[in-house]
Each structure stands twice: as structure tokens, then as C-alpha cells.
């Protein structure tokens, strides 16, 4: 989400008195931590994902992720990838600090250049890696490698979030607590979508009328006049429309100012204020960060408005959000984010929040 400046009375009319990250009241509070060369994310249902994401941009060139489901039988999956285009990884050549790790039942996917390991074998490998410093794909000099600095702390935090500490299912701090003591993950919140056929008559003219009426907002955003070619308007309900006014055309992504307007009164359009993603700090939400969205899109079939903001052109970091319209308001239904730009696969951003979208 990027900034819009709204002055005076207009700000008071268009910014809610309080904005609260939904994940604080819907399921578990999400976890996002960057620890040395690793990133950990656990969503509102306690599904957790840890990955190598080097603090030094591009260091190592390798990729390793560890995903785990919540609950007593929470599935564990390790995934390896070579991201430099040299071909699928060869697990047989893996070395931990120069020593072979031995044969394991990896599943190879050459097309995706990945190898995955699941179940007890995955847990055994994690425990073997936890006190190491480097995992290399081959002993050759210059071969891609994964730094393990920070992995142990990230997985300890994962165990803590999922309630596994001092138990037999823990990855790091094991103990006598039985698997049955591990709590199940919270259920997914449910949002009932209210799609409307996109039957707005003369949508282009309607968007143009809103652009003229809210020129003040566009000026405060410092929107580019030529971005008007990206304007859109869509039916939001029988009496209301969603309007997306083109604002900025940047090198690798653009932005829109989004508004809700009565279908019979485009001049009464109001800036669209959406619920905050769960990692946002409400104290930082001021008039200059409301209403402008990057890479925005509207899906009439699911009544969903989304944005996707690359941290940089490589898309190795960034965030994406989806809000679903329930007939009255937009509810957050998906949020993925990765703050660190470590040179990993494009768009591989952990899930921080999710909901189940059902038909109304």
C-alpha cells in the first residue's frame, strides 16, 4: 500500500477512527521474524514457513524452505531448489559442512528444479542441520549453498508458535510431552463473498466523472495525468460502484487510487479504506497512506480486490493482499509478505493471513 495525502475535513470523513489488523481478532496472531540468514512466517492458523533468505543480497545462491502444518500430526516438508538455472538439485551431492548427509527419500521435480523431503526423514534432516553452518549442493567450489545461520532460532520460534516445545514433535527443543499435547491450529475465518455482475453502464464515462469530481485526491497523490488511461469502474452492488483511477506508472508496477461511489452520483465518490494487513502498525496509519494500491485488480467472480507490490523489480520481496466484498464491506482474505530482499524466487512470499471465501 502506498501513500495518499488527504487534508483537513476530507481526511476526517474518509479515514476510520481506528484500524485494527484483523489477525489480532481472527485466529492466532501471525509471526514474522528475520533471524540472521533466515525468515520465519506463521499465519493466523499456525501454518508455518521458514526459509533461507540471506541477509547479504544473493549470498550463497541456494534455496531451502521448511514448511509445517499445525497440530499433533502437523506435516513437515523440506524443499530444495537451485535458483541459478544450472538444473535440478542432486540430493545425493548434499554436504553439511563438507560431509555427505547420506541417502534420503527425496522426491525430485526436474521441471520445477526442486527436491522435497517429507515426514520423519525431513524431521531427522532438520535435527541434523540445526547445529551446522552450511548446506552445499555439491563439493565443487562456487556451488550454490545455504547458510544455516539463524535456522535453529527460526525453527525454535516455529516450535513455540505451534505449541511443540519440550515435546516429541519439536524440531529443536524436544522433550517428553506427547504429540497429543500439541494444540490444533485455529480454524480459518469465513468470509461470504457477494459478487455482482459487472453490468455498470458506460463504465468509462462513470470513471471519468469520478476523476473530475475527485481531482483534489489525485492532486494530493501527485498522480500522473497520463495514468488516466488505466481508469476502471465496476459494479459493486445494485447501487454502488468500485472505481480504480490510474495514478502512477512506474518502471515495473503501477498504482491506482480506489474509491467507492453511488452509481447515480459519481461526484460523491469516497476513497476506499481497506482493513490493514496484520503486520501493519496502526500507529503509522496516517492520511498519507490511505487509498492508493499497487498492482491493483478486481475479480467480479469472487468479489475480490487485490494488490501486489514488489519490493523491487526482481520480486524476491514484496507483499500481496486480497480483500473480498461481503455485500457491505471489504474483508481481508489473503496476505503474503516478505520484507527481506535476499534474491530468492520471484513472488515466493510467505502467507501471513488467510480466510476461507464462501459463496453468499
Whole-number pLDDT of residue 72: 96
Residues 48/68, Cβ–Cβ less than 8 Å: yes
Cell triple for 339: 520484507
Per the CB < 8 A criterion, the answer to whether 164 and 170 are in contact is yes
DSSP string, 218-250: HHHHT--GGGGGG-EEEEEETTEEEEEEEEEE-
Q: Where are the domains of the chain?
A: 8-23+191-359, 28-186
Q: What is the pLDDT of residue 125?
A: 96
Chain CA centroid to CA 9, Å? 34
- Return the pLDDT at 1: 29
**CA–CA dist 137, 9 (Å, integer):** 60
The model carries a pTM of: 0.86
The closest alpha carbon to 272, from 249, 253, 296, belongs to 296
Q: Helical H runs in 244-291?
A: none
| Helices H / strands E in the chain, number of each | 5, 23
Strand, helix or coil for residue 210: helix
Q: Which residues of the chain have pLDDT under 50?
A: 1-25, 83-85
pLDDT digits (tens, 9 = 90+) for 121-143: 999 999 999 999 999 877 665 67
The answer to whether the beta carbons of residues 95 and 133 sit under 8 Å apart is no
How large is the C-alpha radius of gyration of the chain?
23
Check if CATH label 2.60.40 holds for domain 28-186: yes
Residue-wise pLDDT for 1-59, tens only, equals 222 222 223 333 343 333 334 444 467 899 999 999 999 999 999 999 999 999 887 67
Most distant CA pair in the chain: distance in Å?
Answer: 72
For residue 234, the cross-strand partners are 242
d(CA 300, CA 7): 32
Contacts of 36 (CB under 8 A, 6+ apart): 55, 147, 149, 150, 153
C-alpha to C-alpha distances, 55 to 36, 60, 106, 215, nearest whole angstrom: 6, 11, 28, 43
CA distance 158 to 68: 9
Amino acid at each position: 500500500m502506498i501513500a495518499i495525502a488527504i487534508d483537513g475535513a476530507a481526511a476526517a470523513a474518509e479515514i476510520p477512527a481506528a484500524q485494527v489488523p484483523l489477525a489480532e481478532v481472527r485466529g492466532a496472531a501471525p509471526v514474522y521474524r528475520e533471524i540472521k540468514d533466515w525468515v520465519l512466517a506463521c499465519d493466523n492458523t499456525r501454518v508455518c514457513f521458514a526459509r533461507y533468505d540471506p541477509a547479504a543480497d544473493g549470498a550463497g545462491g541456494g534455496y531451502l524452505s521448511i514448511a509445517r502444518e499445525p497440530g499433533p500430526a502437523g506435516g513437515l516438508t523440506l524443499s530444495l531448489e537451485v535458483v541459478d538455472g544450472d538444473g535440478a538439485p542432486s540430493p545425493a551431492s548434499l554436504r553439511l559442512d563438507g560431509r555427505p548427509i547420506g541417502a534420503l527419500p527425496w522426491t525430485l521435480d526436474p521441471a520445477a528444479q526442486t527436491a522435497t523431503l517429507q515426514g520423519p526423514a525431513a524431521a531427522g534432516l532438520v535435527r541434523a542441520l540445526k547445529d551446522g553452518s552450511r548446506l552445499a549442493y555439491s563439493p565443487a567450489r562456487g556451488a550454490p549453498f545455504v547458510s544455516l545461520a539463524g535456522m535453529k532460532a527460526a525453527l525454535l520460534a516455529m516450535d513455540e508458535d505451534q505449541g511443540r516445545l519440550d515435546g516429541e514433535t519439536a524440531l529443536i527443543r524436544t522433550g517428553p510431552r506427547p504429540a497429543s499435547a500439541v494444540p490444533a491450529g485455529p480454524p480459518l475465518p469465513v468470509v461470504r463473498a457477494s459478487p455482482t455482475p459487472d453490468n455498470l453502464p458506460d463504465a468509462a464515462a462513470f470513471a471519468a466523472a469520478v476523476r473530475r469530481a475527485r481531482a483534489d485526491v489525485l492532486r494530493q497523490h501527485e498522480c500522473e495525468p497520463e495514468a488516466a488511461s488505466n481508469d476502471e469502474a465496476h459494479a459493486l452492488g445494485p447501487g454502488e460502484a468500485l472505481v480504480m483511477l490510474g495514478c502512477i506508472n512506474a518502471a515495473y508496477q503501477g498504482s491506482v487510487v480506489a474509491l467507492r461511489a453511488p452509481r447515480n452520483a459519481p461526484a460523491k465518490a469516497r476513497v476506499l479504506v481497506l482493513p490493514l494487513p496484520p503486520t501493519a502498525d496502526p500507529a503509522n496509519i496516517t492520511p498519507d497512506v490511505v487509498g492508493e494500491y499497487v498492482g491493483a485488480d478486481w475479480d467480479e467472480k469472487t468479489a475480490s480486490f487485490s494488490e501486489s507490490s514488489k519490493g523491487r523489480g526482481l520480486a524476491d520481496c514484496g507483499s500481496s493482499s486480497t480483500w473480498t466484498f461481503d455485500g457491505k464491506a471489504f474483508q481481508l482474505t489473503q496476505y503474503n509478505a516478505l520484507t527481506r530482499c535476499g534474491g530468492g524466487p520471484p513472488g515466493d512470499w510467505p502467507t501471513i493471513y488467510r480466510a476461507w471465501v464462501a459463496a453468499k
